Amino acid sequence: MQRAAWLVHRTLEFKDKQECYPDATRTGIWLQENLAKMFNLARIPKHNCDILSPIAPISDPSAQSITVVVNDWFYSLRVYEPQSTTKNPVLCRPEVILTRLHAIVNDARTRPGTAPPIGVLSSDDRDSWASNLDHLFSLSQKNRDTHRAIVSSVMSLSLDSETYTILSNSLSTLPPPSRTTQQGLDSHLHFIRSVPSNVSNRFFDKPYTLIVDPSGRAGIMGEHSFCDALIPSMVAEFSIVQGVDQDFISSQSQSQPLSVSGWARLDWEIDFEISSACEKARTNAVKLIENSDNSVLWFEHYGSDWIKGQAELSPDAYVQIALQLAWYRTRGTFTATYETALTRMFDKGRTETIRTLSTDSRAFVLAMDDSLVNTESKYVLLKRAIQTHTRLTREAATGRGIDRHLLGLQNMLRGGERAELFDDVLFSRSQEWRLSTSGLSAGHFFRGTGFGAAYEDGYGINYLVAPEMVKFGIESKNSSPYTSTERFKIAIFRAMTDIQSICSANLKPSSKL
C-alpha cells in the first residue's frame, strides 16, 4: 500500500505539472493533448462500435478521485482536495492517500460476503459487455452512479491479493538475465497481464490502471483507444524513476486510523442474469489467458551504444531487420509486418504504419543463410535494408505513409460503393499483420513491456532499446502450431548475434587513438 500510494502520487504529479515538457514546445503541446485523453475518462461499450466518454471536468467530485479495486470490490478514493485560495483542487500528499488506502483495504477485508465480480465483464467481447452494462443500468440507479464514478475517475488502482509466481522454465537454452531471473520476469509480466485469480480485480475500460501486489511489485495496464503507448510509458517512467521516499516510509505507522473520510464504496446491484454473465465472462477470460504464450527476453550482449557507435546504424531499424530474420528462420516465409510510427508533428497526430517487410529487407534475410553469399555482400544488403527502413520510417512520420490514407478512403465509401483496390486479395494480405511490432523508449526502469498478437498464428512484439541491452516482450498463442514464444526468443537471440557478427567482420578499424 505504501508503494501504491507513492506511485499514485507520482503519476498525478506528472499529470499536473509536466515540468519536463512545457507547453511552449511542440512536444509539450503534443504531450498535453495526449495526456488529456488518458485521465478522467473511459471507453464505453456500445453495440457495433464503442465510444469514448467525455473528459470529466475537475469540478466534478468523481474527477477528483481514483477508482480502487480490492478483492473485486470497487471504491472511490479522493486524491484532490478543494482549496479556498486556489481555483483548482490540490493534489493530496502521499501519506493522505495511504491513510485512505488503509481504510479501503480494511473495509474490503472485513465486509461480509464476496464481491460481485463485475470487473470481469469489462474483459468480455464488447457487444456482450454492452448488453450486460445496459442490463446493469436497468436494475438500479446505483449501478449508473457507480459506473459514472468509475468512468469519470482520474485513473484506476488494482490492489491484488497474491504475489503470483509461475513455474520456472528450466528447459530454456538462452542465457539467464542478469540482476533478476527469467521466472521473476515472466511472473511479473503474467500478473500484470492478468491471471485467473485477478482477472475480475480490474476495470479494463480505463486507459491507465496501476496494479500493485502484496510484495510491492507494480506495473501498469493500458486501454489503447485513447492514446499511444508512448504516453503511458512516459508517465510510468516518471512515476518509478524516484523510489519511495524513505522519510515517507519511516513516518508511516503500521496501524492506520480507519475512521477517515475521503473514500467511499462503489457498489453494484446484480441479479441472476448478471451473475451468470460474470461466470461466462470469467470462462472466456481464462481461455484467453491460458491461450496466451507470453514472455520477456533480455538480450544483454549489446544495445544502442554499439549499434549507433560502432556499427553506425539506426537501432530501431537494426532490431526490425533482426525480427524479419527471426521470423523467416522459424516460418520459412515472409509476412506483412506492422511497426508503429508516431505522427506527432501533426495536430492531433496519432500513428502511421511502417511496413518493415520490403524488397531490401527480404533480400538481406534470404542472403543471411545462403552459404554462397559472402560476408561482405551480406553486410552491403544489411545496410541497404536498414537505409530503406529508415526512409520508410521518415515517410510514415511525416504523413507520407500509405495505410492511414487508404483507411480514410475506405471509410469514405458509402453503402453499396466498392473500389477495386480494396477488393484485391493482395491488398487484404498486405494488412494481415502476423508480425505486429512497436518500439518504446529505452525503458531503463522497466522489466519489460508488451501487447498481444494480432493474429492467432502471429506474434505481438514490443521492445526497449537501451544503451547496453534490448528488452523484448513477446506474445503468441498456444493454440497455434506455427508459433512458440520460446522458439521465437531463441530465433531473435540468434538473429541479433549473427547480425552483429556480420557487422563486426566488415567494420573498419577505428582511426581514433
Please, what is the Cα angle at 99 between 195 and 159, to 5 degrees? Answer: 0
C-alpha cell at 51: 465510444
- Give the domain extent around 430: 293-506
Residue 148: inside a domain: yes
pLDDT band at 447 (very low <50, low <70, confident <90, very high): very high
Which tens digits make up the pLDDT trace of 260-301? 899 999 999 999 999 999 999 999 999 999 999 999 999 999
Q: Is the pLDDT of residue 472 over 70?
A: yes
Q: Structural domain tally of the chain?
A: 2
List beta partners, residue 208.
222
Which tens digits make up the pLDDT trace of 47-78? 999 999 999 998 899 999 999 999 999 999 99
pLDDT band at 356 (very low <50, low <70, confident <90, very high): very high
The residue count for the chain: 513
Q: 44: closest CA among 268, 202, 205?
A: 205
Which tens digits make up the pLDDT trace of 185-206? 999 999 999 999 999 999 999 9
- Considering only 25-34, 59-68, 314-323, which range has the smallest mean pLDDT? 25-34
Residue 149: inside a domain: yes
Residue 285: inside a domain: no
* CB of 2 closer than 8 Å to CB of 144: no
Q: Which one is predicted more confidently, 342 or 511?
A: 342
481 and 410 belong to one structural domain: yes
Residue 281: inside a domain: no
Residue 137: inside a domain: yes
Which tens digits make up the pLDDT trace of 127-155? 999 999 999 999 999 999 999 999 999 99
Q: 476: closest CA among 214, 294, 304, 296?
A: 294
Q: What is the pLDDT of residue 200?
A: 97
Q: What is the pLDDT of residue 512?
A: 43
51 and 94 belong to one structural domain: yes
DSSP class of residue 229 equals: T
Residue 419: inside a domain: yes
Report the CATH number at residue 447: 3.30.559.10
Q: What is the pLDDT of residue 461?
A: 98
Q: What is the pLDDT of residue 347?
A: 84
307 and 266 belong to one structural domain: no
In DSSP notation, 165-206 reads: -PPP-TT--SPPPSSS-HHHHHHHHHHHH--TTTTTS--TTS
- d(CA 439, CA 343) in angstroms, rounded, equals 15
Residue 202: inside a domain: no
| Average pLDDT of span 306-316 | 96
Q: What is the pLDDT of residue 344?
A: 87
105 and 215 belong to one structural domain: yes
Which tens digits make up the pLDDT trace of 358-386? 999 999 999 999 999 999 999 999 999 99
80 and 127 belong to one structural domain: yes
359 and 254 belong to one structural domain: no
Q: What is the pLDDT of residue 351?
A: 92
Q: What is the pLDDT of residue 87?
A: 78
362 and 477 belong to one structural domain: yes
330 and 398 belong to one structural domain: yes
Q: How many CB atoms lie within 10 A of CB 409?
A: 12
Helix-, strand-, coil-residue percentages of the chain, each rounded to 5: 45, 15, 40
- Say whether 125 sits in a helix, a strand or coil: coil
Residue 189: inside a domain: no
- List active site positions: 224
What is the C-alpha R_g of the chain? Answer: 24
Report the CATH number at residue 68: 3.30.559.70
**Crossing angle of the two packed helices 2-17 and 94-110, in degrees rounded to 10:** 130
